[in-house]
Amino acid sequence: MGATQVTLRVVFDTNCVVSALLFAKGRLAWLRADWAAGALVPLVCTQTVQELLRVLAYPKFDLAREEIDELLGDYLPFAEVVELDNETNWAECRDPDDRIFLALALQAEADALVTGDRDLQACRDGFPVTILTPDELKARLKKP
């Protein structure tokens, strides 16, 4: 009997998603393959998708609207959309802009929040959802 694949429901911070989408041979390219294969289900909400759109439109990436749409097509169809409650009970974080990722992870009951952001990583202690770096997630999934 074959091993059953466990699908992890994960909140990715914007930088992880952008790296996975823009750099096909980059350090986080495996994330894109894993969500496409169903091993990972990205969790998104309106605010995180808006943030992703904003970042992909940065001049340094020099992406045309069609290219942004194509990249979103490699991400959003694999994502689970979560409707967030109001902000009153959101966890505190050194960077107030990062609170959305903590709120999403909590409300969606995510298996993990994956981030390279030090402000989010500083929330690990006492936060009910596991916060991992991309490398820690890779190790948990036993990827080479």
Which has the closest alpha carbon to 49: 76, 67, 24?
76
pLDDT by residue, tens only, the chain of 144 residues: 444 567 899 999 999 999 999 998 999 999 999 999 999 999 999 999 999 999 999 999 999 999 999 999 999 999 999 998 876 566 778 888 888 999 999 999 999 999 999 999 998 988 999 999 999 999 998 876
Please tell me whether residue 9 adopts helix, strand or coil conformation: strand
pTM, rounded to two decimals: 0.91
Which has the closest alpha carbon to 13: 111, 131, 114, 90?
114
Query: Which tokens go with 18?
Result: 């952008």
Q: Say what the pLDDT of residue 70 is.
A: 96
Torsion over CA of 29, 111, 49 and 14, rounded to 10 degrees? -50
Which has the closest alpha carbon to 12: 95, 116, 88?
116
Q: Say what the pLDDT of residue 89 is.
A: 64
Q: Say what the pLDDT of residue 2 is.
A: 43
Phi, psi values for residue 42, rounded to 5°: -65, 140
Could you tell me the CA-to-CA distances from 11 to 58, 64, 84, 98 in Å, in that order?
22, 26, 13, 12
What the chain holds in terms of domains, given with CATH numbers, is 8-140 (3.40.50.1010)
